[in-house]
Structure 1
Amino acid sequence: MASSISSDLSSSRFPRVAVIGAGLAGLTLARILTEMGLSVRVFDKGRSPAGRMSTRHEAGGSFDHGAQYFTARDEGFQRQVETWVEQGVAAEWRARFGTLENGTLTPRNEGPVRYVGVPGMSALAQSFASRVDVRCGVRVEHVRREHEAWVLTSDTGQALGAFHAVVAAVPAPQAVPLLAGSPELSARVAGVRMEPCWSVMASFDAPVPLPVDGAFIHGSPLSWAARDNSKPGRPEGERWVLHATPEFSREHLEDTPEAVAPLLVEAFRRAAGVDVRPGRAVAHRWRYAQAEPSLTEGALFDDKRGLGACGDWCSGSRVEGAYLSGMALSRRIVFWRP
């Protein structure tokens, strides 16, 4: 076993890298390293790539139940957004925005250009995933050092291979045990606190009588509500996504989805001041939704051990931050040699 691992890795001209997590940060990193000639394999526990940019399909239609939209402030990310738009996997969301509080609506249409993936937010991650080696439905349980290599094992005991470097591109609390081989790095990541978020996907038989498509909500268990079908490239049918506040989500963290959904639908009714009766409402818990606060390093890498971490929690807790985090780590690994 030891000799086969050594010979396998020594025959590689460039570092062989494992990326754990197929969200935008991990896929950005994997795409760049792959294009630079490195051997990269991505593992993700989900059924498909995207992470919190997933698009979920329910009986009432499709929903962006995680990341809602994104903006571009960085010039490099703006160029990537323009490429996505040209490819048809992103478009500007020209929606009506406002603020809701106890039935009072205040228009709020100022602000940066907002973009979404097309036909769903997951399209952005999938556009990158199509260019790299991604293994979905695989939960990496152990990352252990063996003869100058990192050997990965799944939660079912499956051997996943040996690598020069391993990157945890998952929420910080999930990254900590994967980075145990670097005590300093693991301790740094362990200090990142991430807030939960309950999300409700609600479908209606008729349009909700609100003159906005996206609303920031104050004084409520909800922080956000969006008419999902108002986004470009979406199928017909009235569908809304409701996001709870961190406070509500922490308080109801271990409640069942069946218990949470009616609570947030009622919160939407109170905030909007209209009678909303969805034909179907399904709740989903994002246990690790947003870092409070996020790190400022962009990405983390122990160049002595070949262990690293990236994600939006390293760079602003936004879609743009996830992309920039993957970019930042790629610059460190592409010139790194074990």
Structure 2
Amino acid sequence: MDRRAFLADTVGVAVGAGLPAHPRPLTPVGAPGAVGTAHLLELRAGLHSLFQLDDAYGGYDVRSLAVRHLRRVRRIVSTRTYPDTIGRQLQLLAGEAAEHCGWLFYDADDQDSARLYWGQALTSATVLKDPNLDVLVFSSMSLQACHEGRPREGLELARAAQERAIRLSSPTLRSIIAAREARALSLMNDGRAAGRRLSEAMRLVDSSSTGRGRPAPEWAAFHGHAELDYAQGMLYTELGRHDSAVQFLRAALAHQDRTYGRNRALYRLTLANSLVRSGAVDEGAAHAVESLEHLGEVESGRVTRKLHEVTDLLRRYDADTARRAVEELSEYARAKGAA
């Protein structure tokens, strides 16, 4: 069975994410009767498994599963009976699922669809007056704005998220958003302010390890020192200080948990880019080729874009290692496009 067929199998979602089976069968959510806590937990477990699949494989293939899960939640909200307390949780889950659909389309580099789902999620956050969902949507939209060359808007969105996150008293959440503020500031060529926000992000993540403040939400599990090393590397890249960027990008790759397959692929290609730009063409080419071993497991528009960027960069060099790397990278891209 190929990976697409595996991901399309609803049983494969739980298996692929390494989730245990539920200890006892639940009443099907399409069966008569009121929706209860057990059904809500089942639907939330489905969203959790989608988080894990995205972390491992990227958003390209997972997004169709997420859209179907969102439809399922919305159908239950619209057609089933439940107490008000369960109803609010179902509506919140629908908003979170819509936000995750937005993230997956963003990662697949379908930005118009990402905007559509994030708009739906923001509507849910507004109606429910839920600050956690507000923070999640604004911080995601900040990344998209930076990705599309609108860093000033990205900074405003990150600051809106930070304003709400402060009220939630979660150091990890505030650290994530401070790093996104830093990204926007670096793209605005304000390296000094970006550095200050990254320092604050590091202080906050260290504070979270002491148990201070509220625990981070589930979606924030990816954040830690590896993510901040990567953010620091990206800051130096934007400033043209590629030697300094390499140091932090190496650390990010070394410390990133192997369950985050998409991020590891992105980190390695970003490191290859910075190595080449710093003059270490042979080592950069080697990292780019080494990434191919893992790219067969990852479908991510952001990773594919980075692969093309590194390939185009290596074409500028006459070194044998660069030429061989370009041949291998180009052959991989052709084979993937024909698949």
TM category (shorter chain) comes to under 0.3
Instruction: With the length of structure 2 as denominator, give the TM-score of the two structures.
Output: 0.26
Instruction: With the length of structure 1 as denominator, give the TM-score of the two structures.
Output: 0.26
